[in-house]
Structure 1
Amino acid sequence: MHSRKEGAAIREEVYRFIAKYITVHVCPPSYKEIADALGISISTVRRHIQELIDEEILETDAEPGTQRAFRIRGTRVGKRGKEHE
């Protein structure tokens, strides 16, 4: 089990991966893509994404656990990469 500091470090890695991925691909990565890139389990990814949502760093309008249904708070990028007005 990871200590609290390690957990915070992993959460930071998850956030940074998501931000970089969205910059390149416009849409968010899947849990599997995050897990594979960071060498962590999908359940760990889910937990950290939920914590980032709880901390209001990420946001979602979807049901909990829905793939690719989160965004960085304050951004309004749609499926085709166009900002909603």
Structure 2
Amino acid sequence: ASSICRGLVPSKNIPNRDFAINGAVFSVNNDCVFEVCAHWISSYLLGDSFLRLATPEEAFAHTERNAAWLRKRYPWCGCADRMGIG
């Protein structure tokens, strides 16, 4: 099952604010995306109050819906199984 909220934070770590991942979100403009992600991660780790974070349960449900959509949209890919989200 997938549990990486926004492609940046494992759902179970949301309340702890102790771990985040940069580089898991891809775009045609990676430089800009990685910089925005770095700023978001910095705010997350510093506990900035303007971030409205989901609960771990809400984040997990969101990532599950996203993974289900990916499997339905790209059934030929099979990458979901290799990534452990299938």
Scaled by the length of structure 2, the TM-score of the pair is 0.31
- Larger Rg, first or second structure (1 or 2): 2
Report which structure shows greater RCO (CA 8 Å, sep ≥6): 2
Tell me the TM-score normalised to structure 1 length: 0.31
